Chains A and B, each alone.
Chain A
Amino acid sequence: MSHVAHSTTTTTARTERSATASKAYAAFLGIGLVLLIVAPLFFYPIFLMKLLCFALFACAFNLLLGYTGLLSFGHATFFGGAAYFTAHVTKEWGVTPEIGILIGVAGAAALGLIMGFFAIRRQGIYFAMITLALSQMFFFFCLQAEFTHGEDGIQSVPRGHLFGFIDLNDTTSMYYFVLAVFLIGMIVIWRFINSPFGMILKSIRENEQRAISLGYSVARYKLGAFVMSAALAGLAGGTKALVFQFATLTDVGWQMSGEVILMTLLGGIGTLIGPVFGAGLVVTLQNYLATSQFPVTIITGVVFMVCVLLFRRGIIGEFYASRLGRKLGFEHRR
């Protein structure tokens, strides 16, 4: 998705503005962190952990869509695939949770390497269709493979002891473990998009032809971003498998890939923190509707259409573009 660079502001004004912006950012970050630490006192911890997992998943997805301009319709493969891997190795091999999650991440990265290898051969909507088709293939694989137990999924996965001595069956320990995973994931994403590598990705998003003519091997950068995004989605998926103690076909289905797109779109494509809000809204909505008879799909579909038609910047994007956002020095694009 192409973005138009902000050319009107002068360089000095921009530095001043981004100084206030980074102050505002730091303030919001501090408040957010405190809220996350005290949250289990006020909310159901399982719900919060689910939220954190999906928030990380959406941010990992946004790394690809928002910062590289590639729309993957197959991210459920990495999320759900990692959930299967983590669940399998912790249950059958009896490894500790952190090793289990790392194996999940490695598996997701490997899947990302394979899918990315094929998908980056085409661009735009073809890229979306190829990722969708390959992830459907993985879905059928999971349906038939032995270790996933087909329709039943992998049930009663042990949470185990973190590093061998912290009992994660204790909900509070588990919550802070998930929070730590989430924060590590976010720091990695933040570092990644502000690295030279991330800058090149943004240049590919803005103008792929120019990036090629500057001598960058665009395909390799795209593949790198794809694998990175897949690995982080795997981090979220593996953690989720330990939270809920199961891994099922739901996590690898195309609906899940659609859900993560919605979270990102709703929160704000190409904003670091937007997908967290998008995920929060979607997960809350699902929880709320789970008790009623009304199907979630209809709401999801309508929200999708409304977002695309009227609300393309997403919540955080709109905030950045609002008067208050601009006063605080945030830049909005498009």
Chain B
Amino acid sequence: MTMIFGIPLQAFMGQLLIGLINGSFYALLSLGLAVIFGLLRVINFAHGAQYMLGAFVAMLMLQYFGINYWFALLLAPIVVGLFGAVIERLLLSRLYKLDHLYGLLFTFGLALTIEGTFRYLYGSSGQPYAPPPALTGATNLGFMFLPNYRGWVVVVSLIACIGTWLLIEKTKLGAYLRAATENPTLVQAFGVNVPMLLTLTYALGAGLAAFAGVLAAPVYQVSPLMGSNIIIVVFAVVVVGGMGSIMGAIVTGYMLGIAEGLTKVFYPEASNIVIFVIMAIVLLIRPAGLFGRDA
């Protein structure tokens, strides 16, 4: 058997893949957080809850309406995005003039409410969600077996990340967004509907989280707790990357996911704290974060 650093190649590649999968979710979620923060100056604590909502919407659509995975991947983000838009319009928008910490506290309350409701309705244990038939099975890559669904997750989340980056950096809407980040008053004076832009941005962020949730449903189980488990790690990712750049959020997400996967190979006991340790080291060396501009 081929060995790498004294570890069987199979096991090594397996953990690397798990790291890459986790990294995909970290990237998608920290990207959404960065997009929302860039314009709204709100740290969306409910991001984990929206991720969980995405997975639940997909599962419930299958159970009650027989809507399959592919439609769910499209519909769940829209449903959660709309929910996000309503929340932003009615409640969150009242807090922009206040200290940013109130936005964090509000979305924390929102996250608790959503999570509590789903725990009340569906219990704490996870429920399975089968991957679509087209993506079951595995491909032999010669050195390892790659489950098709996991390969799909890596590819599609990469596409989603790059797509969002292109949307913000290369389109007219993205240009408005970036301009409104720099100077909302001036952009409003040019006749751009900034409040609408804010609502759209929050909906986009929530939709991205839900998209990640649907992708995650077949990999992990659908559980009310899946959001709060991941969001704290994503916060650490965001601290490491700094929220100044979209690309920074994506790159950091993948990097830390892989670092976590590799730690599982070499020192499993530390695998769930390695990201926090990296965060502490980055804070010592570069307090503003790897890609951060604002401290």
Assess whether A125 is in contact with B101, with CB atoms less than 8 Å apart.
yes
Assess whether A305 is in contact with B106, with CB atoms less than 8 Å apart.
yes
A297 to B224, CA, bound (A): 12
Residues of B within 8 A of A295 (CB): 116, 119-120
1/0 contact string of A291-327 vs chain B (CB within 8 Å): 0001111111111110111001000000000000000
* A82 close to chain B: CB less than 8 A: no
* A130 close to chain B: CB less than 8 A: yes
Known contacts A123-B295, A295-B120; A308/B238 CB under 8 A: no
Residues of B within 8 A of A308 (CB): 95, 102, 105-106, 109
* A190 close to chain B: CB less than 8 A: no
Cβ-closest chain A residue relative to B243: A126
Interface residues of A in 2-37 (CB under 8 A from B): 2
Residues of B within 8 A of A302 (CB): 109, 113
Residues of A within 8 A of B172 (CB): none
Shortest C-beta distance, A241 to chain B (Å), equals 24
A288 to B109, CA, bound (A): 20
How many CB-defined contacts (below 8 Å) exist between A and B? Answer: 119
Interface residues of B in 264-295 (CB under 8 A from A): 269, 272-273, 275-277, 279-280, 283-284, 287-288, 295
Assess whether B232 is in contact with A254, with CB atoms less than 8 Å apart.
yes
Query: Which of A1, A123, A125, A254 has the most chain B CB atoms inside 10 A of its CB?
Result: A125
A136 to B230, CA, bound (A): 11
Assess whether B279 is in contact with A130, with CB atoms less than 8 Å apart.
yes
Residues of B within 8 A of A297 (CB): 112-113, 115-116, 119
Shortest C-beta distance, B49 to chain A (Å), equals 10
1/0 contact string of A107-147 vs chain B (CB within 8 Å): 00000000000100111111011101110110011001000
A318 to B277, CA, bound (A): 42
Assess whether A133 is in contact with B276, with CB atoms less than 8 Å apart.
yes
A144 to B268, CA, bound (A): 12
Give the size of the chain B interface in residues (CB under 8 angstroms). 44
Cβ-closest chain B residue relative to A304: B109
* A71 close to chain B: CB less than 8 A: yes
Query: Which of B101, B111, B235, B273 has the most chain A CB atoms inside 10 A of its CB?
Result: B101
Cβ-closest chain A residue relative to B274: A137
A307 to B95, CA, bound (A): 12
Residues of B within 8 A of A2 (CB): 99
* A52 close to chain B: CB less than 8 A: no
A51 to B116, CA, bound (A): 24
User: In the complex, which range does the number of interface residues on chain A fall in?
Assistant: 35 or more
A298 to B119, CA, bound (A): 10
Known contacts A254-B232, A301-B113; A134/B276 CB under 8 A: yes
- State which of A128, A140, A305 has its C-beta within 8 Å of the C-beta of B113: A305
Cβ-closest chain A residue relative to B229: A136
1/0 contact string of A231-270 vs chain B (CB within 8 Å): 0000000000000000000000010001001000100000
Known contacts A124-B100, A133-B276; A309/B119 CB under 8 A: no
Assess whether A137 is in contact with B277, with CB atoms less than 8 Å apart.
yes
Q: List 27 A-B contacts (CB under 8 A).
A: A2-B99, A121-B284, A122-B283, A124-B100, A125-B43, A125-B100, A125-B101, A128-B104, A132-B232, A133-B276, A136-B232, A140-B272, A140-B273, A141-B273, A254-B228, A254-B232, A258-B112, A296-B116, A297-B116, A298-B116, A298-B117, A300-B109, A301-B113, A301-B115, A301-B116, A308-B109, A312-B102
Closest 8 A/B residue pairs (Cβ): A304-B109, A297-B116, A301-B112, A301-B113, A298-B116, A137-B276, A305-B109, A133-B236
Told that A133-B239, A261-B105, A295-B120 touch, could you supply 13 new A-B pairs with CB distance under 8 A? Answer: A1-B101, A124-B100, A124-B101, A125-B104, A130-B279, A137-B273, A258-B108, A261-B108, A295-B119, A297-B113, A297-B115, A300-B109, A302-B109
